[in-house]
Amino acid sequence: MGFDEGKGCLKREPSASARTVGASLKALPQVADTPGYTLAQPRIGDGPPRPTAYTGAMSKLSEDIAHLRKSYERAELDESQSQSAPLQQFDQWMTEALAAQVPEPNAMTLATVGPQGRPSTRIVLVKGYDERGLVWYTNYDSRKGRELADNAFAALQFHWVELERVVRVEGRVEKVSAEESDAYYRSRPLDSRLGAWASPQSQVISSRAVLVANAAKAAAQHGLNPDRPPHWGGYRLVPEQWEFWQGRKSRLHDRLSYRLQDGAWLRERLAP
């Protein structure tokens, strides 16, 4: 409360929430002036106004993104130059990615599907591949682990931007043997082995301090030679279909697909 000398009466000071809304409105001229958006009228306690209706006009940033262009002209992928088996083709491209010092050439997107049919993706690292499939390691209780337990099919994708190449792999997923998981776990740095004990992957935690405390507890409990946690280990995707994509000029990209047919790999060209 305060006294208004002009009116000769008490005046009410704005509440904290009213001051917050006022400050928020002053801080948002760039939103209010953005073409294509309208602002909802705020009410006390609602917080800052927000866009509620899109009228069809793109922002300047969206226009800039829409005009990004790249011409793919580094290489080509022809049937006469490709391997007859997809694993050999993948090995050739991985070797070339390593030789070109592509950043994290072993990074791949893993796509899984949940029980409601909703897909999800994340980046994992391939840790080995052979005729049996492609292997990575993770927490079995994570979201991807739970989704694979419900639906044991997945897709992988490598994107080597510098080489203008993409590799896609689809197939059934299985756990690797305990012996394989143990061997890889023992090869990891100590901090990474303790981290497998410390992180309840995909679960909500209150702060990073929870992870730090868990790591300290794991170090005290397991020492310098921790055993592999039972909830951590490897998966192997057993390929049923491969696709190799090479960027080409004028968006006429090369796409070679390999799919199993009667126990043999059938190579086909796909339209870009």
Per-residue pLDDT of the chain in tens (272 residues, 90 and over written 9): 444 444 444 444 544 434 443 444 344 444 344 444 344 444 555 555 565 566 667 788 888 888 888 889 889 999 998 999 999 999 999 999 999 999 999 999 999 999 999 999 999 999 999 999 999 999 999 999 999 999 999 999 999 999 999 999 999 999 999 999 999 999 999 999 999 999 999 999 999 999 999 999 999 999 999 999 999 999 999 999 999 999 999 999 999 999 999 999 999 999 99
* pTM given for the model: 0.77
Classify the phi-psi angles of 56: left when phi > 0, otherwise alpha if psi is within -120 to 50, otherwise beta: left
> 198: domain CATH number?
2.30.110.10
Residue 239 lies in a domain: yes
Residue 186 lies in a domain: yes
Residue 263 lies in a domain: yes
- What is the domain extent for residue 154? 79-269
State how far the Cα of 116 lies from the Cα of 14, in Å rounded to an integer. Answer: 48
Total of domains in the chain:
1
Residue 59 lies in a domain: no
For residue 148, the SS3 value is helix
Please name the residues in contact with 169: beta carbons below 8 A apart, sequence gap of 6 or more: 134, 155, 156, 157, 237, 239, 241, 242, 243
Residue 63 lies in a domain: no
Residue 252 lies in a domain: yes
Residue tagged active-site, from 12, 118, 208, 251: 251
Cα dihedral 196/197/203/208 (nearest 10)? -90
The yes-or-no answer on residue 143 being catalytic is no
Residue 71 lies in a domain: no
